[in-house]
Amino acid sequence: MTDPSNTPEPAILATDAEQALAERVRAAAADGRRLAIRGGGSKAFYGNPVVADAELDCTGHRGVVAYEPTELAITVRGGTPLAEVEALLGAHGQQLPFEPPHFAGGDAESPATIGGTVAAGLSGPRRPYAGSVRDALLGVRLLNGRGQVLDFGGRVMKNVAGYDVSRLMAGAMGVLGVLLEVSLKVIPRAPGSLTLVREEPLPRALELLRRFSRRALPITASAWVDGRLYLRIEGGEEALAETHRIVEGLPLAAADTFWRELCDQRLRFFFGDVPLWRLSLPPATAAGVTAGLDAGAPLVEWGGALRWLRGELPVERVRETARAAGGHATLFRVGAGPRPADGVLTPLQPVPLRLHRNLKHAFDPAGILNPGRLYPDL
């Protein structure tokens, strides 16, 4: 009897859009022209500016390639709107585990694409409880800097074993290749959801989050905003009632709106054209770690592991503060101020920088794809 897990997948036929993209990349490589990869443009603010000779528009390469709800996986072309993917999954009672941001509203008008979502590597409120974009990525179909189409990983969870090259593409911002197709694991939607709100100062809120993390509670999102701790719990009716008894707090009426606006940075905290810093820190980091930056109260997510700061702050002091706490800092939105000369991400140390350069050369030897987007010299 044949083991179905060892049965090779049928050959994948290239679409006209895929062939056109490959031809453009091959022509650019031959002429030494640099290309700025573009999807819906919803995350154009993120990362460093790309110095390119032309744009490579990927929005025409769209559509669902494979989706069988019982397999808990979906394969879609890179230019497919994120909103369409989420609507399809929602119709089958499923969702993407990492709750990706749209940054332009979460409705059908959102320009965000699934390829851009994976390339940016950004996750929403559910990330510490259900995994990141990288954790959900099963496989990719990639167009490299030579114009060659490469396949990595698989389309279902049983086909992926060990470290998969496809996971390098999550957060690579297109510097390694154009994402033609992505395969992602999905999860069922919970039968019920409840968001509880407590008035707490930040030190007390972080203490509660640490306490709750040591228990098997069905918490799927947390945030501290303007003196209030928000906790989302999901599950069956009995689980919600029991968790409410333990966690306490007042139910939030417009909970879905709150989490969507938090994810897409449409809360008041994010208003205004000022620099926005994203600090990734160990969850147990003290509440006052950023007090010396004179940045005002942060917005805190992910059980304390993600802290947002606003304002014209000294770049090196912010980076050093994050580094001393065991984390790193990203200038997420530049605002009206200048970009740091060494880029918006914390500069790499010599060894990881060498690895990045080697990877870039292996996938894009002429350096024509999104040059500088991730780091200025890549």
| One pLDDT digit (tens) per residue for the chain, 378 residues | 334 344 334 345 568 999 999 999 999 999 999 999 999 999 999 999 999 999 999 999 999 999 999 999 999 999 999 999 999 999 999 999 999 999 975 555 789 999 999 999 999 999 999 999 999 999 999 999 999 999 998 876 555 455 578 999 999 999 999 999 999 999 999 999 999 999 999 999 999 999 999 999 999 999 999 999 999 999 999 999 999 999 999 999 999 999 999 999 999 999 999 999 999 999 999 999 999 898 899 999 999 999 999 999 999 999 999 999 999 999 999 998 889 999 999 999 999 999 999 999 999 999 999 999 999 989
Q: Is 229 helix (H, G, I), strand (E, B) or coil?
A: strand
274-333: CATH topology is: Alpha-Beta Plaits (3.30.70)
Are 148 and 129 in contact by the 8 Å Cβ rule? The answer is no
Q: Residues of the chain with pLDDT > 70: what percent?
A: 93
Q: Which two tokens stand for residue 189?
A: 């939607």
Class of the CATH-defined domain 193-263: alpha beta
> For residue 23, how many other CB atoms are within 10 A of its CB?
11
The reply to whether 4-188 and 274-333 are identical in fold is no
Architecture of domain 4-188: 2-Layer Sandwich (3.30)
> Model confidence over 114-137: pLDDT tens digits?
999 999 999 999 999 999 999 999
- Residue 297's nearest CA partner among 363, 48, 289 is 289
| CA separation, residue 125 to residues 224, 248, 283 (Å) | 12, 20, 14
> For residue 192, how many other CB atoms are within 10 A of its CB?
15
**Cα–Cα distance, 170 to 344 (Å, whole number):** 18
Taking phi first (over 0 means left), then psi (-120 to 50 degrees means alpha), and beta for anything else, what does residue 263 get? alpha
Q: Which two tokens stand for residue 351?
A: 């060894």
Q: Is 7 helix (H, G, I), strand (E, B) or coil?
A: coil
Compute CA 191 distance to the chain's CA centroid, rounded to the nearest angstrom: 25
**Cα–Cα distance, 198 to 212 (Å, whole number):** 14
DSSP, residue by residue, 147-179 = S-EEEEE-SSGGG--S--GGGGGTT-TTSS-EE
Regarding pTM above 0.85, the answer is yes
The residues spanned by each domain of the chain are 4-188, 193-263, 274-333
